[in-house]
Structure 1
Amino acid sequence: MKPWAVNDSAARPKSQITGEQASNARLAATSGERHTRGMDRDSINALCAGLPGADVSEPFGPGHDIWKVGGKIFAALGAEGRGVSVKCADVPTAEMLRETGRFEKAPYFHRSWVLVPFDAVDAEEAAHRVRTSYGIIRASLPKKVQAGLDPA
């Protein structure tokens, strides 16, 4: 565990706090109780469908909704329906989120991805994680591909 608390950015050295990490800390700084008003598969799919250039496919079989922008995955919903896997800005951000106990390592993905369980976070935080993942992936696309997408 890090020498500073996840939700105590004041104790964390300023040189180690990024803008996204500060935002993540504010969203993740809840009591750790399970939320009952989180998102579900249908609401995540509706959110993803509304993002410019987002396409869904099932390359891993029926029930696996894989959302891509510019051909790159930004959100994945497994057939078991436990939650949505999303990309974080970097490995330290993903680790920080996992340390809250409300996020998990995303199965089959790199360490910079987290699984957002439907029953662990509220709808606002789940939507924030999906939009952040979309933004990270979209920004990583070649400029030519980005230019062909509608504004975010």
Structure 2
Amino acid sequence: MDVLQEWAATRAEELPGVTVDQPFGPEVDVYRVRERMFMALSPMGRTSVTLKAAPEDAEALRETFPAIIPGYHMNKRHWITLRSDGSLEQDLVRELVTEAYRLVVAKLPRAQRPVDPELFGRL
């Protein structure tokens, strides 16, 4: 695990109701909230982090940061992949993980939500 993945994993593990499994094999850690995936850590040639993203945010992020590309083996509109090239800052990675989590929580039935997605992670 490289520093990008460490930042992402550390943030994900801080979030309420998160579980980790390896449904795609031992090399890919999948992070879920209530059984719904919001992040995957994989080697993908170079180590990477794949995250759920709002389509308009995903497009803006890809245009702004060369290290952010369409989601690897995922729906390119709703997922982004962060490449580990040393150009992304820890605060951005933490924010993107939190936003991916919030997007998934917002789609859960109210009774299953571990947090209020409208308020969680907002300052």
1:112 aligns with 2:78: yes
Q: TM-score, normalised by structure 1?
A: 0.66
Are the structure 2 counterparts of residues 141 and 121 from structure 1 closer, same or farther at C-alpha, using a change threshold of 3 Å?
A: same
| Aligned residue type for 1:130 | V
Match for residue 22 of structure 1? none
> Where is the strand percentage greater, Structure 1 or Structure 2?
2
Query: How many aligned positions are there?
Result: 112
- Uncovered stretches (5+) of structure 1, i.e. residues with no partner: 1-37
Q: Show CA shifts across 1:80-130 (max 9, x none).
A: 4622111112x2221111112231011111122111223231101011100
Q: Distance in 2 between matches of 1:94 and 1:43?
A: 20
Identity over the aligned pairs, expressed in percent?
26
Structure 2 counterpart of 1:125, which letter? L
Contact 2:7 2:94 in 1 (8 A): no
Q: Which TM-score applies when normalising by structure 2?
A: 0.80
RMSD: 1.9
Q: In the superposition, relative to structure 1, how do residues 39 and 127 fare at CA in structure 2: closer, same or farther (>3 Å)?
A: farther
Structure 2: tracts of 5 or more residues without a match: none
**Aligned residue for 2:52?**
87
- The answer to whether 1:97 aligns with 2:61 is yes
